[in-house]
């Protein structure tokens, strides 16, 4: 018997959705911060477990800075646009973004468990990407008709926001396509809402006949709390490949100590660093930019400090390119 509302769904419903409530919880005064008040399209959203990892009284906390809407978002930086990575031009079927050889990205749902202010998808027409049953059938047809597609990347939004029923139906359908060898899940939920990582979900995934790769998304070591570590270590022992992607963000992780600490902590949790992305130039995120030269220097210093497998690949996404562009 599945309860009507799972515990993780109740946690999600209970997430902070008001700046004032979050700042009060963190013992901060809204008047002292350059807060953006009017942001109906992309409001604040922060699960309580994630907020609990922030330092009370610190307006520059690296986790708070990722989620707090600031007035700087309204500043129009040159070269920043609504679709910086060309995703809208690469929609091949409903919810299917086919940009790279051998793999497609499937936008399984528009929603996220957290709203990250630097996200390029903040301007994406999510509602149009929400997959109804008939649209999903078209997406699956597209994949089934192309034997050169070997990997489906579930993305969003956050695919783990789907209910177990919907998610399991989708995974079963994908795993049943003969030429699909791998299903990759891109999700920030293992970090921000670890209660969603239930044993039911793990049992289901590890029972599929295809390889499962889970790419989580953490930008700072403080995001990796011990409950997250305990869960992910268990997932790895059950044969799920665990990788992390981060975004290089001014004022959050743009120093060599923060990046090295993140890699070390990830490894302790059974996760290897995969990509460190340069910011995608989406309207509203320019204040997070780290210059490409600075990024290269940071990576070179990481290489002098860490074993090669703990140094992520520094990449950027260029619209129209057949793969992510490596920078170092
Ligand atoms: C990033 C991305 C992928 C995956 O690229 P990898 O280099 O395989 O991680 C696939 N499709 C799209 C549209 C992407 O943006
Ligand atoms: S898509 Fe990922 S980075 Fe963007 S808001 Fe959702 S969880 Fe954050």
Instruction: List, in sequence order, every residue forming a beta bridge with 46; answer none if it has no partner.
Output: 16
Does residue 2 have a pLDDT over 60? no
Confidence band of 173 (pLDDT split at 50, 70, 90): very high
pLDDT digits (tens, 9 = 90+) for 258-306: 999 999 999 999 999 999 999 998 888 999 999 999 999 999 999 999 9
Residue 127 falls within a domain, yes or no?
A: yes
Lowest mean pLDDT among 66-75, 144-153, 298-307: 66-75
Tell me the average pLDDT of the chain. 93
Closest-lying ligand 2 atom to the alpha carbon of residue 188: 7
**Structural domain range at position 254:** 76-326
3-class SS letters over the chain: CCCCCCHHHHHHHCCECCHHHHHHHCCCCHHHCCECCCCCCCCCCECHHHHCCCCCCCCCCCCHHHHCCEHHHHCCCCCCECCCCCHHHHEEECCEEEEECCEEEEECCCCCCCCCCCCHHHHCCHHHHCCCHHHHHHHHHHHHCCCCCCEEEEECCCHHHCCHHHHHHHHHHHHCCCCCCEEEEECCHHHHCHHHCCHHHHHHHHCCCCEEEEEEECCCHHHCCHHHHHHHHHHHHCCCEEEEEEECCCCCCCCHHHHHHHHHHHHHCCCEEEEEECCCCECCCHHHCCCHHHHHHHHHHHHHHCCHHHCCEEEECCCCCCCCEECC
User: Of 254, 250, 272, 253, nearest to 263 (Cα)?
Assistant: 272
The pLDDT value given to residue 132? 86
Q: CB under 6 Å to ligand 2: residues?
A: 112, 114-116, 119, 121, 156-158, 188, 217
What is the per-residue pLDDT for 286? 94
Query: Residue 27 domain-assigned?
Result: no
The answer, yes or no, to whether residue 6 has pLDDT greater than 60, is: yes
Indicate whether 36 belongs to any domain. no
pLDDT (mean) for 17-41: 88
Strand pairing category for 96-100 and 103-107: antiparallel
* Residue 137 or 71, more confident: 137
The domain that contains 270 carries what CATH number?
3.20.20.70
* Cα–Cα distances in angstroms (integers) from residue 88 to residues 72, 207, 225, 255, in the given order: 26, 34, 36, 33
Q: At what angle do helices 199-206 and 164-175 cross, to 10 degrees?
A: 10
Ligand nearest to the CA of 42: 2
- Candidate from 86, 105, 143, 187 with most ligand 1 atoms within 8 A of CB, to mutate: 105
Q: Which of the ligands is closest to the CA of residue 216?
A: 2
Mean pLDDT on 45-54 = 98
Centre of ligand 2 from the C-alpha of residue 28, in Å: 25
| % of the chain with per-residue pLDDT over 70 | 96
- 86-141 pLDDT, tens digit per residue, is 888 889 999 999 999 999 999 988 899 999 999 977 776 655 557 888 999 999 99
**Residue-level pLDDT at 328:** 82
In a domain, residue 3? The reply is: no
pLDDT band at 181 (very low <50, low <70, confident <90, very high): very high
Which ligand ends up closest to the CA of 322?
1
Does residue 278 fall inside a structural domain? yes
Query: What separation in Å is there between the alpha carbon of 166 and the centre of ligand 1?
Result: 23
Instruction: Please say whether the beta carbons of 19 and 44 come within 8 A.
Output: yes
- Examine residue 69 and state whether it is found in any structural domain, yes or no: no
pLDDT for position 325: 94
What's the structural domain count of the chain?
A: 1
Residue with the nearest Cα to atom 8 of ligand 2? 116
Percent of the chain predicted with pLDDT > 90: 79
Distance 101 CA to ligand 1 centre (A): 9
Beta bridge partners of 236: none
- Per-residue pLDDT, 62: 98
* Predicted local confidence at residue 164, as pLDDT: 96
Ligand in closest contact with the CA of 313: 1
Pocket of ligand 1, beta carbon within 6 A: 97, 99-100, 103, 105, 153, 323-324
Task: Tell me, in angstroms, the distance from the centre of ligand 2 to residue 160's CA.
Answer: 12
> Atom of ligand 2 at shortest distance to CA of 247?
3
- Residue 64: the pLDDT is 98
Higher-scoring residue by pLDDT: 129, 160: 160
> How far apart are alpha carbons 184 and 26 in whole angstroms?
35
Residue 26 has what pLDDT? 97
Residues found in the chain: 328
Residue 1 has pLDDT above 70, yes or no: no
178 in any annotated domain: yes
How many CB atoms neighbour CB 272 within 10 A?
14
pLDDT at residue 38 is higher than 80: no
Q: Is residue 23 part of a domain?
A: no
Closest ligand 2 atom, residue 155 Cα: 1
Instruction: Judge contact between 103 and 151, C-beta under 8 A.
Output: yes
């Amino acid at each position: 018997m599945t309860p009507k509302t799972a515990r993780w769904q109740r946690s999600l419903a209970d997430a902070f959705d008001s700046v004032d409530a979050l700042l009060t919880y963190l013992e901060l005064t809204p008047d002292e911060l350059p807060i953006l008040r009017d942001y109906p399209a992309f409001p604040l959203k922060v699960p309580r477990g994630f907020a609990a990892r922030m330092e009370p009284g610190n307006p520059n906390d690296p986790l708070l800075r990722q989620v707090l809407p600031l007035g700087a978002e309204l500043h129009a930086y040159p070269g920043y646009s609504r679709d910086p990575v060309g995703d809208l031009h690469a929609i091949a079927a409903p919810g299917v973004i086919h940009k790279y050889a051998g793999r497609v990205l499937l936008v399984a749902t528009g929603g996220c468990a957290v709203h990250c202010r630097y996200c390029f998808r903040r301007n994406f027409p999510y509602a149009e990407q929400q997959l109804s049953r008939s649209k999903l059938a078209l997406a699956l047809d597209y994949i089934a008709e192309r034997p050169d597609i070997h990997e489906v990347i579930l993305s969003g939004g956050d695919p783990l926001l789907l209910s177990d029923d919907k998610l399991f139906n989708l995974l079963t359908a994908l795993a049943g396509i003969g030429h699909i060898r791998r299903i990759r899940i891109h999700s920030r939920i293992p970090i921000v809402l670890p209660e969603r990582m239930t044993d039911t979900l793990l049992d289901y995934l590890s029972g599929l006949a295809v390889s499962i790769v889970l790419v989580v998304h953490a930008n700072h070591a403080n995001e990796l709390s011990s409950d997250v570590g305990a869960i992910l270590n268990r997932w790895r022992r059950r044969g799920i490949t665990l990788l992390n992607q981060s975004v290089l963000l001014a004022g959050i992780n743009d120093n060599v100590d923060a990046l090295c600490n993140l890699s070390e902590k990830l490894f302790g949790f059974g996760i290897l660093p995969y990509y460190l992305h340069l910011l995608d130039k989406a309207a509203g995120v320019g204040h997070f930019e780290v210059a490409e030269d600075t990024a290269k220097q940071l990576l070179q210093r990481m290489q002098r400090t860490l074993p090669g497998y703990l140094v992520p690949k520094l990449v950027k996404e260029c619209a129209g390119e057949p793969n992510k562009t490596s920078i170092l």
